[in-house]
Amino acid sequence: MSDTIERIKCLIIGSGPAGYTAAIYAARADMKPVMYTGMEPGGQLTTTTEVDNFPGYPEGIDGPKMMMDLQQQAERFGTQVRIGMITEVDFSKEVGGIHKALVDNKTWIEAETVIISTGATAKYLGLPSEQKLRGGGVSACAVCDGFFYKGQDVAIVGGGDTAAEEATYLANICNKVTMLVRKDYMKASKAMQHRVETTKNIDLRYNTEVDEILGEQVVEGLRMVNNQTGEKEEIDITGFFVAIGHKPNTDIFKGWLDMDETGYVITESKTTRTNIPGVFASGDVQDKVYRQAITAAGTGCMAALDAERYLAEIDIEEDIQKPQTRPETV
């Protein structure tokens, strides 16, 4: 452990669109932000080949290139981007208190404000072929990548509201959508089930699991297996979508921050404030509804503005509490 503890105004944990947008705004407000990138610098977009739905890129942009652009913009205004992972936190529950964070299990850093932008990780099936073909037709976001499969045959796995919503989204742009549900029923709401069942080009398969995703460089087909009969079937597809949920990256904040039953950070209505004064959450770590790069960036902006206002309020409070002295008279 280092004996010298660095103190900063603004610590940003995570380096996706939310973190970098927060950094841009915080740096421009002279908060001198320090960002720790985490294990996946740039976040989930670094695993995406083409980003077509982020404003400002009329021809689309490569995901890793977009994150490099955001990093350079944040650094242009003075953000310190550090490769490292926050492995433990010790938050102050007092207004104006100093928060502590442990970097890579060895060095503590102190911060007046903390912006959490650690995101959420999509759950995958765990098949080797699935991992091999990520970016080559395997995706965990139909809204992000569905456009590339317009007029083609695709498949999606999952039985909840997200899977049902993404299946109907794909059905609007794809020729055929094969939907695999592991059980003999869907967990989705009745309304969403009805939408799936009444969409003509969705082939709904109950009691069906993925046996293998076929293809060498890109997705070319899918081998399914009925988990009741053991019967296998192969179909031709060009895109495979996984919609079995996300896990927010919030483990180190448990016991400190208020979270919902699935681990997403709860923020105060229409703000990024958490239950800890001076700690703010932005991006997918607190958003399980939209989960888009642009919405993450928007909440990153909000978090930086909330942090700036918090520091201003602390300064005003300290000025009020300072003892007033009478000027000496001659």
| Catalytic status, residue 144 | yes
Given a contact cutoff of 8 angstroms between Cβ atoms, the answer to whether 207 and 183 are in contact is: yes
Structure tokens at 79: 């953000």
The catalytic position among 3, 10, 52, 141 is 141
Distance set, CA 268 to CA 67, 163, 190, 236, 277 (Å): 28, 28, 30, 47, 11
Cβ-based neighbours of 255, under 8 Å, separated by 6 or more: none
Question: Is residue 141 annotated as a catalytic residue, yes or no?
Answer: yes
The single residue of 52, 62, 144, 319 carrying the catalytic annotation is 144
Catalytic residue among 10, 62, 69, 145: 145
| Residue-by-residue DSSP string for 16-41 | SHHHHHHHHHHHHTT---EEE--SST
Question: Catalytic residue numbers?
Answer: 141, 144-145
